[in-house]
Chains A and B, each alone.
Chain A
Amino acid sequence: MDKDTILKVEDLHVDINMLEGKLTPVRGVNFEIKRGETLGLVGESGCGKSLTCKAILAINDKKCKASGNIIFNSEETGEVNLLDLNPRGEEIRNIRGKHISMIFQEPMVAFSPMYTIGNQINECTRLHITKDKKKSKEITLEVMRKVGIANVEKRYNQYPHEFSGGMLQRALIAMALVCNPQMLIADEPTTALDVTIQAQILELMKELQKDFNMAILFITHDLGTVAKMCDRVAVMYLGKVVETGTAEAIFADPQHPYTRGLMGSVHKIGQKKQDRLFSIEGTVPLAMNLPKQCGFYERCDARIEGLCDRMEPELVQTEDGHQVACFACNNEKCRKQREEAEKLLAAEKA
């Protein structure tokens, strides 16, 4: 594995066995994150982005079975396949919160209402850094100061209900950063916050990223925050990554019909007023007993009958660092994949 790559996810599947049958919300996700980089994982609800990031830390529900490879690479731990580790074992617990930590969507729910904020941040410090009570409190206060919480001595002894939403999200970030992690997973960290607070939190995360040289996996459905935060973007649909590339390339020239639809359905302020927004018809299908076809087939406006409903396109490299999974895209590599698929289908027929 490349030395600069901190995390590589290969062919990740998550299955859930239910009474009605097997649900596969994540169906072969591939991506990698370099040190100090921000990767945005974008997609609508139900596309499997949260399950993917929870699979990295092995904190998915027991009935979720993950398979594939998630390779984490750091100086201290070397290369480890996180999926091989026992989800309740010593090794993953050493990584969780120390090397990779996570910020959750709703700060109001993420904290326990029964303990003080200081106490809860301290838990992480005491577990990973020092057992010394005095020292650990010092470290906690220091990190609380760093995320911009004023009056930390008083705040340390307060309960979550005494914090506003924005402050609570800062406290959650403090908890995630207290062990200087090399990687941070942020699952919709600002979705529950107001725009002005959101802007503050995003700026704070960017600053801290520089200080810690931390990689961030930023999960969101808001394209505005993606444009502001991310170096690279991976677009997910129905449990698969359908397009990845640099943020500039994805926003300037989206290739996959789904990415194009997603971009079109967001109104940009100042844009010429059309009467109607572009909208993708239909809804995301349920990831159960999916036929062998492109997941986006039914909602796609560029679909090729007889091909897209019989074969599923793979991610192919179109340019340096840009990957698309689509038969209908107009570039050399995608056309090549299409020709091969058509040949295969013709051979099957014969």
Chain B
Amino acid sequence: MNKDTILEVKNVSKRFTSKGVTVKAVTDVSFNVGKGETIGIVGESGCGKTTLGRCIVRAHEASEGEVWYRTESGEELDFLKVDKKKMKEIRKEIQMIFQDPYSSLDPRMTVLDIIKEPLQANYPKMPKAEMDALAKQMAEKVGLNPAYLMRYPHAFSGGQRQRIGIARALVVKPQLIVCDEAVSALDVSIQAQVINLLRDLQKEMNLTYLFISHDLSVVEHISDKVGVMYLGRLVEFAPTEDMFKKPMHPYTEALLSAVPVADPTIKRERIPLMGEIPNPANPPSGCYFHERCRYCTQKCVDEAPELKTMPDGRLCACHRAEELSLGGFDYEVQGTEA
């Protein structure tokens, strides 16, 4: 494992079985996360991005694969294999921020108790006064008025609730945070506030984010690298600007072309995707995307492409990645406008 790497995901798969039907929610996903980086994971609903995030924090047990993690003390371990006691120690270093700030907070706990709960779970011997002090400090850091901490979640607006969720995740001083659609449920002006907050906290606390979202503009703004998932597989993984300028996988190209741009003067041609996402319980042969791909060849039907490292260091799972020249967003033109 490289020294700057904090997380190395290796061939992780997750299968769910129900009534004799097995669904491969995540198949063979591998990527590295550097310390202090923000990695965006994008894809349509049902592509397995949430399951992947949950496998990484070990809220689900992955069926196969390894997740190597460098702890704060510098130890490298595959935490899919570590025992319960060790896991408990690592847990506080990896936290999660959830999507819906309305359902992820217990309505019967005060905000102070909600923020304090991770401390109680991870440091049972910590004196109560110290916990309160830490929780209050954290609340202030995320922009909540400490005078309101004795109130219950219902008294707060959506943006404030998401701040509570963030304070709760950060109070145990984690290294890695998995943000699962952390801003999707918020209004745009509130979204901007929360995104700014996340970035400020990242700088201050040297956090690493795994940012799972379906909103490509938000991901482009916040991420250093982006991974695109389709039907449980990682199809492309590259530095943000490279990918948005010049995607290598046909699915990424189609996805980017569908993003509406907040500027009526820009008319972009959309690359139509034929049909719908196939049923993950019965995926197509060869490349999972071949039925909807406009560059499909016989090889794509027969043979599943592997996630390969391209000459420029990007990862892409497409047989024709190197010969195709795909179109993305025009950076220069819009860049000068802004």
A199 touches B264 (CB 8 A): no
A270 touches B244 (CB 8 A): yes
In the complex, whether B323 has a CB less than 8 A from a CB of chain A is: no
Interchain pairs with CB closer than 8 A, number: 132
8 Å CB contacts to A: which residues of B31-48?
44-45
- Hey, which bits of chain B sit against chain A, CB under 8 A? 44-45, 157-160, 187-193, 195-196, 199, 214, 216-218, 220-221, 244, 254-266, 270, 272-273, 276-277, 329-331, 333-335, 337-338
B221 touches A283 (CB 8 A): no
Distance in Å: Cβ of B45 to nearest Cβ of chain A? 6
- The answer, among A165, A166, A247, A271, for a CB contact under 8 Å with B335, is A271
What are 7 A-B contacts with C-beta separation under 8 Å? A164-B277, A195-B258, A196-B255, A222-B260, A272-B338, A277-B192, A277-B196
In the complex, whether A68 has a CB less than 8 A from a CB of chain B is: no
B260 touches A269 (CB 8 A): no
Q: Which residues of B contact A166 (CB under 8 A)?
A: 276
In the complex, whether A319 has a CB less than 8 A from a CB of chain B is: no
- The answer, among B158, B188, B199, B261, for a CB contact under 8 Å with A269, is B261
Residue interface bits A188-205, CB-to-B below 8 A is 1, else 0: 000000111111101100
| Contact A223 B258, CB 8 Å, known A267-B217, A276-B196 | no
Interface-centre pick from B188, B270, B330, B331 (highest chain A CB count, 10 A)? B188
Distance in Å: Cβ of A152 to nearest Cβ of chain B? 16
Q: Which of A80-88, A171-179, A258-266, A339-347 contacts B (4 or more CB under 8 A)?
A: A258-266
A261 touches B217 (CB 8 A): no
Residue interface bits A230-253, CB-to-B below 8 A is 1, else 0: 100000000000000001100110
B264 touches A251 (CB 8 A): yes
Main secondary structure of the interface of B (DSSP, over half): helix
- The answer, among B189, B218, B331, for a CB contact under 8 Å with A261, is B189
B260 touches A271 (CB 8 A): no
Distance in Å: Cβ of A144 to nearest Cβ of chain B? 16
A164 touches B192 (CB 8 A): no
| Contact A278 B188, CB 8 Å, known A267-B218, A270-B330 | no
- The answer, among A198, A264, A269, for a CB contact under 8 Å with B220, is A269
B260 touches A272 (CB 8 A): no
Name the residue of chain B whose CB is nearest to the CB of A46.
B187
A268 touches B187 (CB 8 A): no
| Contact A268 B188, CB 8 Å, known A166-B276, A203-B270, A224-B217 | no
| Contact A265 B189, CB 8 Å, known A195-B44, A224-B261, A277-B221 | yes
A194 touches B44 (CB 8 A): yes
In the complex, whether A331 has a CB less than 8 A from a CB of chain B is: no
- The answer, among B196, B265, B277, B338, for a CB contact under 8 Å with A248, is B265
CA distance A200 to B190 in the complex (A): 28
| Contact A196 B254, CB 8 Å, known A268-B262, A268-B334, A272-B335 | yes
Distance in Å: Cβ of B269 to nearest Cβ of chain A? 11
| Contact A221 B196, CB 8 Å, known A199-B258, A269-B329 | no
- The answer, among A195, A248, A280, for a CB contact under 8 Å with B259, is A195
Q: Which residues of B contact A263 (CB under 8 A)?
A: 262
Given contacts A228-B260, A268-B261, A270-B329, 12 further A-B contacts (CB under 8 A): A202-B260, A227-B263, A228-B261, A247-B264, A251-B265, A265-B191, A268-B263, A269-B256, A270-B333, A270-B334, A278-B192, A283-B190
CA distance A45 to B158 in the complex (A): 10
A252 touches B265 (CB 8 A): yes
| Contact A194 B199, CB 8 Å, known A44-B189, A199-B260, A251-B263 | no
Q: Which residues of A contact B216 (CB under 8 A)?
A: 195, 269
Q: Which residues of B contact A195 (CB under 8 A)?
A: 44, 214, 216, 255, 258-260
Q: Which residues of B contact A164 (CB under 8 A)?
A: 276-277
In the complex, whether A131 has a CB less than 8 A from a CB of chain B is: no
Q: Which residues of B contact A265 (CB under 8 A)?
A: 188-189, 191-192
| Contact A262 B189, CB 8 Å, known A267-B220, A267-B221, A269-B259 | yes
